Amino acid sequence: MTTIGVFVATRWELDAVRRAFGTTEARVVDGIRCLVACQALVEWWIIPMGVGPERATATAKRVLAAQRLTAVWSTGFACALGPSGIGDVLIGTQVIMENGARAGSLVSCAPGMIDWINAAVHAQGLPMRHGGFVTVPRVVCLAEEKREIAGRAGGIGLDMESAALGVVASEHRIPFAIVRTVSDLVNESLPLDFNLFLRPSGWAKGVFACLAHPTALIGLNRLRVQSQVAGAQLTALYRACAERALREEIG
């Protein structure tokens, strides 16, 4: 039995992946409630990890210590660092962790798995790009910062978890893949500093920022619509993978 660990950061991303499958069942691994979709030869484990590299690392280590997985996939939404449209599928070939000017080790994705995902996506005619990812430890809100990262590190996508997951997967000698959809673009700033909402004490500040700057609501609505498009494409992506898994072994 092939067991794919699909790690997602938020409930919106989890719901988007879950909608791709007819039915799922809840299973608990070391206190983490996962959703599992079962096919004839494949189990898709949809695993919530929380936002950011520290939570991704902690969750992956707990799950892999208790549950055998054939592969680890980092999935969800991403910021496009290159010319892409909202909802485009980004398939990672490698990922690097960056914190300011400092960069960590490069983690490669499994070539066979990349080819398999590419074939599934291509068969459904979904728009996609291939290339490197960059992982950062905080939400990058300003377009200027996004462009600086793109110029310095290159790549097609920016997220907050993939490098951390890739490191844990490599420690366990498990094939690793990145497959995400675009929710925001390199040349657009986010309407708020979403880093406020990553800390329990920051919610009040985040709400106050919305009230103090009503124009932020316009930007939030734009981001909501873009996230809906990214979510719908994430569902389509996993439907494509599920259909291909019925015909051909993964990886």
The per-residue pLDDT for range 37-94, each reduced to its tens digit, is 999 889 999 999 999 999 999 999 999 999 999 999 999 999 999 999 999 999 999 9
Q: Mean pLDDT, to the nearest integer, of 123-130? A: 94
Identify whether the C-beta of residue 61 lies closer than 8 Å to the C-beta of residue 167: no
Identify whether the C-beta of residue 171 lies closer than 8 Å to the C-beta of residue 72: no
- pTM metric for this prediction: 0.90
Nearest to 179 by CA among 88, 75, 79, 84: 75
pLDDT band at 153 (very low <50, low <70, confident <90, very high): confident
What average pLDDT does the structure give for the chain? 88
Lowest mean pLDDT among 34-43, 138-147, 158-167, 219-228: 219-228
pLDDT band at 149 (very low <50, low <70, confident <90, very high): very high
Amino acid at site 238: Y
Identify whether the C-beta of residue 49 lies closer than 8 Å to the C-beta of residue 7: yes
Q: Where along the chain do its domains lie?
A: 2-190+232-247
Tokens 């910062």 -> residue? 145
**Helix, strand or coil, per DSSP, at residue 37:** strand
How many Cβ atoms from other residues are within 10 Å of residue 24's Cβ? 18
How many Cβ atoms from other residues are within 10 Å of residue 251's Cβ? 17
Q: What is the CATH number of domain 2-190+232-247?
A: 3.40.50.1580
- 111-123 and 215-247 helices, crossing angle to 10°: 100
Quick one: what percent of the chain has pLDDT higher than 70?
Answer: 86
Q: Which residue has the higher pLDDT, 217 or 29?
A: 29
pLDDT band at 171 (very low <50, low <70, confident <90, very high): very high
